[in-house]
Structure 1
């Protein structure tokens, strides 16, 4: 009977988690639609107006010719080619850019602004990701274990009574503060200076990248009007790897805390009933004893 109750509680907890996850996705969809749909319609109207003005100024072009030209431009952007560039512009596939692209593949960020266009490159990308993604996960897992091992070593060093809990709290605060400064606060300053973004845009790019969401609306080292140092994107790729390890640990800690909190709230009434039943059994007197005559 107790096993059946535990199994029922696990099913209820799983169902609650699934429903909460679906609700969170639906909520996000509604908010994104509310925030972005009107702006998208406004941008589309402005684009159509600019096309009409262009056709009025250049009467030698008709609408069909303009649409074909725009299609060529869109295909060029999708292939990572700058339509304003020429043969003297840096290649999108030099070593620095290729190293950065390889990092976005194995980390599953996938900005989408650059992708292989040849069949050989696409096939290689599939097999490269097939082995690279597990390798990246193993590397991040090992890096996380190394960080945890250092924290455990320091915790054992502080073995005096009453200080262990204080040290755990202090170590977690230092870990979160240092990581936040190194991976979320300072990098946007660099990106804002180099790319010409605002700090908010740099912070947005930083978090979207390290969380492996990778929309691709902001990507470093892609402005054709700027001259970047050769190792700029390579250093960014290295920052991404260590930032992924730190943010993954933060997400794991947050997920564990959230799960424990929700399970505590969900199972609290059942635990109360179980404790009450146990107390009642302890307080009940022994049943009547039958004495046989001697």
Structure 2
């Protein structure tokens, strides 16, 4: 059975499979080692394979959010209808009883203080009924006014969609929550699988945006360098060019690494928040600061819930703004994190490779660890000189006559040769070490 190997030389536009000579049919001398057994893949197919995974993830997330909204709507909306009707009827019945009873007491000639005491009891009961009705999260003051039965319910499909999106993005405003036992159980089970899915989707979109921002910044940098080179051209000698390339080869992937300014990243994030603040202030009737506050709390997934959108006709636009904003926030975090991780990576490698560095001491090349050992020994042996001759400081000691030491070998690095060189210094004997 043919197998795929990863040791083929790369040829642009040639995608195929390498067949081992043992598995080929016919004489071995009739075939080349790099025979291609498949036709080259079309460009649109290669791009389609890359894009299909990302698009499938987004489609899966949208379907998951929409299906969850349908489930929550089916579970919570009937309960809201029943609870609202029962509590509104209870309130109106108690109000009618209070009016009729007080009117009968007044008409029968009962004393004024008795009527007032009864009125106080009825008012206390009405207050208790109102608080119990409001605690159900299904009734507000507008539902108790005349015609309140015709007000929109809290649980509609659109509000359920808004709820599932804010739930899975971990924003959680708290203005709409499930109150039934089945709804709460579904919320736990639904978020258990949905939160990782949505976070992965948002991170994937953020990664896509960050890569495109890096690519755009690369083009901008190259264009700026070309314009600068044309305006201020200075000839560079061949030796300087080779020296510059040699320095660049010291750091891996230097050409592919682009450092985007932090100021630009912060500007992108604050600019998007400001744009959202202006738009939300227009269609929600907020002031600019309230819109900016809501946008910032949303983009950071804090979600206090003290300010939430109420215009349901704009909920779809609100959700699009939230998802794109979370992706931009992820993009900014990714760009900043990549820069600091890259810097720490190179810094750590520089510290790790510092012990292999060579220092020219008196015409001799010495490794840094050996130089520190020699300096320590010389500090102990010659460190107690006169004050006017040498200044004694706390730490490593570097004598002025270090260049006169000619027994430091080139290849000594924490090895037996280092100990031999150290022994030759202490005993004063000359011992050449062959490198």
Q: What is the aligned counterpart of 1:177 among 257, 267, 272?
A: 267
Q: Distance in 2 between matches of 1:175 and 1:144?
A: 13
Q: State TM-score, norm by structure 2.
A: 0.42
Q: Distance in 1 between matches of 2:223 and 2:370?
A: 37
Q: State TM-score, norm by structure 1.
A: 0.59
Q: What is the aligned counterpart of 1:117 among 165, 176, 179?
A: 179
Give 1:200-219 correspondences, 5 Å limit: 200-219=289-308
- Give the 3 Å change call, closer, same or farther, for CA 81–207 of structure 1 in structure 2: farther
Larger relative contact order (Cα-Cα within 8 Å, sequence gap ≥ 6) = 1
Hey, what does 1:189 align to over in structure 2? Answer: 278
Unaligned segments of structure 1, at least 5 residues: 1-57, 222-227
Tell me if the contact between 1:140 and 1:245 (Cα under 8 Å) persists in the aligned partners.
Answer: yes
Q: Distance in 2 between matches of 1:178 and 1:215?
A: 24
Deviation at 1:253, TM superposition (A): 4.3
Q: Distance in 2 between matches of 1:258 and 1:290?
A: 48
Deviation at 1:136, TM superposition (A): 0.5
Deviation at 1:162, TM superposition (A): 9.0
Deviation at 1:279, TM superposition (A): 3.3
Hey, what does 1:220 align to over in structure 2? Answer: 309
Matched, 1:104 2:166: yes
Matched, 1:75 2:135: yes
Hey, what does 1:41 align to over in structure 2? Answer: none
Give 1:1-294 correspondences, 5 Å limit: 60-61=119-120, 65=125, 68-69=128-129, 71-72=131-132, 74-76=134-136, 79-85=137-143, 86-154=148-216, 163=225, 168-169=259-260, 176-182=266-272, 184-221=273-310, 228=311, 230-254=312-336, 279=368, 281-282=370-371, 284=374, 285-286=408-409, 287=421, 288=424, 289=430
Q: Distance in 1 between matches of 2:271 and 2:176?
A: 29
- Give the 3 Å change call, closer, same or farther, for CA 73–194 of structure 1 in structure 2: farther
- Give the 3 Å change call, closer, same or farther, for CA 69–278 of structure 1 in structure 2: farther
Deviation at 1:168, TM superposition (A): 4.5
Deviation at 1:231, TM superposition (A): 3.5
Deviation at 1:90, TM superposition (A): 1.6
Asked which structure has the greater CA Rg, the reply is: 2
Task: Tell me the number of residue pairs that the alignment of Structure 1 and Structure 2 aligns.
Answer: 217
C-alpha RMSD of the superposition = 4.1
Q: Distance in 2 between matches of 1:156 and 1:105?
A: 37
